[in-house]
Amino acid sequence: MDIAAAKKAITALVAGKQGEIAAIVEELYRFPETGLQEFKSAALLADILEREGFLLERGIAGMATAFRASYGVGEPAIAILAEMDALPEIGHACGHNVIAAAAVGAAVALRHALPEDAARIVVLGTPAEELGIGKMEMIRAGCFRDLDFAMMVHPSSKRQVLKMYLGLAKIRFTFFGRIAHAAAYPEEGINALDGVIQTFNGINALRQQLRDDVRVHGIITEGGVVPNVIPERAACFFYVRADTLEEVARVKERVIACAEGAARAAGCRLTVDEDERVLAPLKINRAFSTLYSAQLAYLGLQEAAAPIDKNKGSSDIGNVSQVLPTIHPHVPIGEGVHIHSEAFARATVSERGKSAAVEGAMALALTAAELVASPGLREQIRNEFDGSG
Ligand SMILES: [Zn+2]
Ligand SMILES: [Zn+2]
């Protein structure tokens, strides 16, 4: 394969499709759909890929909005991930419309630029990222088993190839006490809200013993009904985040101990619900990331000099990165606008938002072409993933 010619063809193809890529960003923005409800969004993306000659499997992994679109045969098999869910009330405030448009743009360019027997290009429509469900269900269903590499872009305020993401566990605590009139018979009550409040106090004391990069944050989901009744039931919901799954597990045990101590102090019964869907931290692959950076340089684009370990969130792409070499670079949609805000949603449909989708499409397709052209690069990335690189 003539890689120089393929790269030229890809940049020309994506440039020619700029209008269509921007149209995807805008259309998804117009009808934002939350996790597992992305019916129109998934259909829009899958229909485009089907028209472009991809083989479509819709409703995979037990989710109506998950899909797989495949083109070509042979090795390597490269997955390009298309998130598409929005947030309640604030719409595409995480910019998954940009992600989906970049994924479709990249896949369509590769389909036209590469010979059919050069590689297998697979677009995975991955629903419900915000709920931390989609990719985990797809891993469980074996959707990543026959693939070699996974890639996607995510919009951000900065152009950043390497960015860490934290592991995340979710825990719900429910305290059960005894109802009583708060003024007339307080001695007969057992205050479930005390259990919740002492859990927060215990965790706040625990913070002194936690590593700087650990995050524990929670809300009270039930705190009683009226002030003149001792609450017989109260509940809270916590996220525990850290940069390794071991640390997540260790901190989670300490947090549970805080709730148990609080229940004992308040005289309450406690139930602990741990969400079995634990988000894994992103496993960084430097060789793979460097390959993407080289494509940015090829396009004349400069990366932000931002630290990779600041302002970290979590995503189910972390779980994918534990089973396959993965990249998740950020494409810039506007200086100073941060995800999960209305301003961020608006920025996705600005000129910069739409050009970020085009940039993502180009850089992903160029990276994939390099992987196809070079068995040596593939081996280097795989060795790093296996820990022998
Ligand atoms: Zn988000
Ligand atoms: Zn997101």
Whether the pLDDT of residue 235 is over 70: the answer is yes
- Look over the chain and give the mean of its residue pLDDT values, rounded to a whole number: 97
Q: Is the pLDDT of residue 137 over 90?
A: yes
Instruction: Using a pLDDT cut of 70, give the percent of the chain over it.
Output: 100
Say what the pTM is: 0.94
Distance, in Å, from the CA atom of 70 to the CA atom of 44, rounded to the nearest integer, reads 16
The pLDDT of 96-124, averaged and rounded, is 97
How many angstroms does the Cα of residue 154 sit away from the middle of ligand 2?
7
Q: How far is the CA of 199 from the centre of ligand 2 (A)?
A: 30
Q: Which residues contact 306 (CB under 8 A, 6 or more apart)?
A: 158, 160
Task: Give the per-residue pLDDT at 309.
Answer: 87
Q: How far is the CA of 72 from the centre of ligand 1 (A)?
A: 32
Cβ partners under 8 Å of residue 310, min gap 6? none
CA of 340 to the centre of ligand 1 (A): 6
Q: Could you report the per-residue pLDDT of 297-325, keeping only the tens digit for each?
A: 999 999 999 899 888 999 999 999 999 99
Strands 154-156, 330-332: pairing is parallel
Look at residue 389 in the predicted model and tell me its pLDDT.
Answer: 61
Query: How far is ligand 2, taken at its centre, from the CA of residue 81, in Å?
Result: 12
At 303, list the tokens.
């990366």
At 284 the pLDDT is 96
Q: Which strands form 215-222's sheet, in the order they lie side by side?
A: 215-222, 233-242, 167-176, 269-274
Average pLDDT over residues 247-275: 98
Region 26-35: what's the mean pLDDT? 98
Q: What are phi and psi of 195, to 5 degrees?
A: -60, -45
Residues whose beta carbons lie less than 5 angstroms from ion ligand 1: 94
State pLDDT tens for residues 67-87: 999 999 999 999 999 999 999
Residue 388 clears pLDDT 90, i.e. is over it: no
- In the structure, what pLDDT confidence band is assigned to residue 1 with cuts at 50, 70 and 90? confident
Q: How far is the CA of 251 from the centre of ligand 2 (A)?
A: 25
